[in-house]
Structure 1
């Protein structure tokens, strides 16, 4: 952890404990530098980090103050599926039409904007690989993926204290192929799969395609997966696998703490439930502190980990991976008989980028930008949207989850926004039965500017029009 992150963590803890209260002035930059033995520049960076997280506010010629609570109430809980059942949500069939449109401001897309990603460096790496190793770049890749890339991925896990061998890693076409391979390998049609609610609609589509039944466990905006309810559901049902997103769930942006991660793994081990971990957002902690993986706490060998470079480097290169543990051979066979292998050029280019460039420096910039975008969205909602609108307070990831007043028809708002050239994601997409009809997901991946400000104002006007 960098010095400014350590200092920000200490101040964040004091705010959470009430030592520093809303409206109170933070110690001056000079005091912070003197008392913590850091430079003034480090103290400034710590305060800026708290400002990006919405915990502090700069006042001209006065310093930094603890920000009062946002004028947005917490999200209320909704009902969840209480028994296993098939997925019956017609909206899941319609989402592809919206994803195919290129004429929308993409507030419906949980991706970082191109200007936040290292496009120039990746372009240089692609060019280098084509020029220096054209035969390898244009030939079939090994079904498991190029060894150098798998080594780079294993090294990144080693930095997180997770021992992963390159031979355990299978390169996939993004995280969605990794999740689909994992489900196909460990389940058979009719099996019950546990998911969070709300959860990413792509996970629900994968489960439906394989003829599996779904069981939903609440994901709580303030603490992540409800591990008490998870244990109850596993006691009451035979669950073959659980597809979980403990680090910055899409759409809530919630984080499951380490103690709860350990508890849910213990529950799954007791009930012989395989855990498929989707860690695609794990690198996007707005605080800068990368949370631990479920795999780190796995004492029983029940975790299959899936992730990708799509959210942090490039969505278009489609490079992800799955770590299969004892299922590696079966996953590799499934991979070979479905797509043979992932294209060579993107794999070689990303391996070259990771070797030549400072990935952590890029991630620090990306996290700061997403935290700033999220705070600006919060402020725009408070400024432009109906007063009763509620919003989550994400701790990371790319999503902001809204709950609108009961008089607003979210489906009508979604269609009106499309007509205005703005993409949004209705809450019904994120459950197996079309729950969350009063909710909406927005993307934090777009940098704030005049275009975003106008879009938030326009969405607020469309919502207010329904109230009137």
Structure 2
């Protein structure tokens, strides 16, 4: 662990334990440097890390002060859980929002183009066309090009997670990976578990396959309700669970390692396969990369899906699924649906990964996203109506807000769209349109005056949406 990370971890623990309380000043830079035997520059880096995480705030000529923890949104999902089809009309209209190119896209959980290595990727694309034009313009194997599958397997090896290139199947993003997994594992009418709230794309995939859902709530303050999971699995045969354990969309939470193991043990006892969406795994704002569920899987019960969409370029549409014992079936399903992914992006991505340090890019990206989110949280506290609750994510690309006094998030979204701002109303994130007083804001855009003005205007519109 880097020296500044160790100091930040110590201070983080002191804040969590109440040794350092909201409003209290951290030790001075000189005191931190002397006490930990490091340079002042290293002590500054530790404080900047905590500021990026939204734990402290710098005050000019005064030092760093502990921020009050934002009050987390309350859970408003229904308590009764029975298998049922996805029945949410808002999902059918979602494509209309996503098709709008004239909006400030706070409805997107994606990094802005300026945060991504566009020039380097363009150079790799051009170099690939020069060197391998015939291959780049031909069909790719249905499973994907072997060099790319090997590089993906190497990335998992760095996480102490054993993955063979032979089980990697290249897909058109993480969503196609999830869809292929559902196609291979389930039949119409089967029951699957999803979280509530959860990413609306997962709900759309479940609905497209004619499946029933059981919604698994999160505990107040974060983390899946694993006791409730056991009850649901005892009561109902569940074929698969589609989960986002690392930097959940929209909550930003991370499932603890012990809970990941407990989850897999519970699903194993009941014969339930886990489809893991790990697309945000590389976007931990503290710099720590939590292990995927696959890391803990000793029974071959996890299908891990991920993508380069949130780290390199959404438009490449390059994701993957780790097939475990279902690789052959997944490759057949891929061939029957799209034959294979385009060749040029795969070869260009291989070139990029071989020529550049992806981890260096990820370090910069994580810091920028943490900075963006911290600034957005401060702006929400300043401009939005009193009583607004905001999540405290540990990573990812989303903030999850709850309006006070049962505010109308749909009305807020409509008003925002009328002013050229896109946001995602909370009803999109459950199978029956719950969370109608919640909104999700993407925090992948670089902070500037235009964005601050938009968040301020949203706060004014939110005040109107909560008026009696």
* TM value normalised by structure 1: 0.97
In 2: Cα distance, 1:441 partner to 1:375 partner: 15
Match of 1:140 in 2: 139
Whether contact under 8 Å (2:408, 2:466) holds in the other structure is no
Whether contact under 8 Å (1:252, 1:394) holds in the other structure is yes
CA displacement at 1:388 relative to structure 2: 1.7
Q: Structure 1: 5+ residue runs without aligned partners? A: none
CA displacement at 1:4 relative to structure 2: 2.4
In 2: Cα distance, 1:249 partner to 1:228 partner: 19
Q: Deviations over 1:63-117 (max 9, x none)?
A: 32322x14x4221111245000011100100000110110000000010011111
Task: Tell me: CA distance 1:118–1:200, structure 2 relative to 1, closer, same or farther (3 Å).
Answer: same
In 2: Cα distance, 1:356 partner to 1:323 partner: 25
In 1: Cα distance, 2:194 partner to 2:255 partner: 14
Match of 2:5 in 1: 5
Q: Residue 195 in 1 paired to residue 194 in 2?
A: yes
Match of 1:130 in 2: 129
Q: Using the TM superposition, name which of 93-102 and 373-382 deviates more.
A: 373-382
CA displacement at 1:392 relative to structure 2: 0.9
Match of 1:86 in 2: 85
Match of 1:77 in 2: 75
How many aligned positions are there? 466
In 1: Cα distance, 2:29 partner to 2:98 partner: 46
Whether contact under 8 Å (1:373, 1:447) holds in the other structure is yes
CA displacement at 1:144 relative to structure 2: 1.0
CA displacement at 1:275 relative to structure 2: 0.3
Match of 1:155 in 2: 154
Match of 2:36 in 1: 36
Q: Structure 2: 5+ residue runs without aligned partners? A: none
Matched residue of 1:32: which SS? helix
Task: Tell me: CA distance 1:152–1:166, structure 2 relative to 1, closer, same or farther (3 Å).
Answer: same
Match of 2:58 in 1: 58
Matched residue of 2:84: which SS? coil
In 1: Cα distance, 2:368 partner to 2:202 partner: 27
In 2: Cα distance, 1:358 partner to 1:4 partner: 22
In 2: Cα distance, 1:284 partner to 1:415 partner: 30
Q: Residue 461 in 1 paired to residue 449 in 2?
A: no
Matched residue of 2:316: which SS? coil
Whether contact under 8 Å (1:221, 1:252) holds in the other structure is no
What is the RMSD computed on CA atoms of the aligned residues? Answer: 1.4
Whether contact under 8 Å (1:399, 1:441) holds in the other structure is yes
Whether contact under 8 Å (1:221, 1:393) holds in the other structure is no
In 1: Cα distance, 2:213 partner to 2:203 partner: 8
Q: Deviations over 1:321-376 (max 9, x none)?
A: 00011111111111111111111111111111111111111111111111111111
CA displacement at 1:56 relative to structure 2: 1.6
Whether contact under 8 Å (1:222, 1:254) holds in the other structure is no
Q: Using the TM superposition, name which of 215-224 and 393-402 deviates more.
A: 215-224
Whether contact under 8 Å (2:109, 2:442) holds in the other structure is yes
In 2: Cα distance, 1:369 partner to 1:462 partner: 27
In 2: Cα distance, 1:442 partner to 1:366 partner: 18
Task: Tell me: CA distance 1:358–1:30, structure 2 relative to 1, closer, same or farther (3 Å).
Answer: farther
Once superposed, which parts of structure 1, at least 4 consecutive aligned residues long, lie more than 4 Å away?
none
Whether contact under 8 Å (1:428, 1:435) holds in the other structure is yes
In 2: Cα distance, 1:352 partner to 1:6 partner: 35
Whether contact under 8 Å (2:172, 2:341) holds in the other structure is yes
In 2: Cα distance, 1:22 partner to 1:467 partner: 28
Task: Tell me: CA distance 1:141–1:221, structure 2 relative to 1, closer, same or farther (3 Å).
Answer: farther
Matched residue of 1:442: which SS? strand
Match of 1:447 in 2: 446
Whether contact under 8 Å (2:405, 2:466) holds in the other structure is no
In 1: Cα distance, 2:30 partner to 2:358 partner: 31
1:426-445 equivalence runs, <5 A? 426-445=425-444
Q: Using the TM superposition, name which of 323-332 and 398-407 deviates more.
A: 398-407
Match of 2:317 in 1: 318
* TM value normalised by structure 2: 0.97
Whether contact under 8 Å (2:156, 2:163) holds in the other structure is yes
In 2: Cα distance, 1:133 partner to 1:366 partner: 30
In 2: Cα distance, 1:442 partner to 1:321 partner: 26
In 1: Cα distance, 2:387 partner to 2:60 partner: 31
Q: Deviations over 1:121-170 (max 9, x none)?
A: 11111111111111121111111111111111111101111010111100
Whether contact under 8 Å (1:221, 1:254) holds in the other structure is no
Task: Tell me: CA distance 1:277–1:408, structure 2 relative to 1, closer, same or farther (3 Å).
Answer: same
Whether contact under 8 Å (1:192, 1:239) holds in the other structure is yes
Q: Using the TM superposition, name which of 348-357 and 435-444 deviates more.
A: 348-357
Match of 1:234 in 2: 233
CA displacement at 1:22 relative to structure 2: 2.7
Match of 1:387 in 2: 386
In 1: Cα distance, 2:461 partner to 2:207 partner: 34
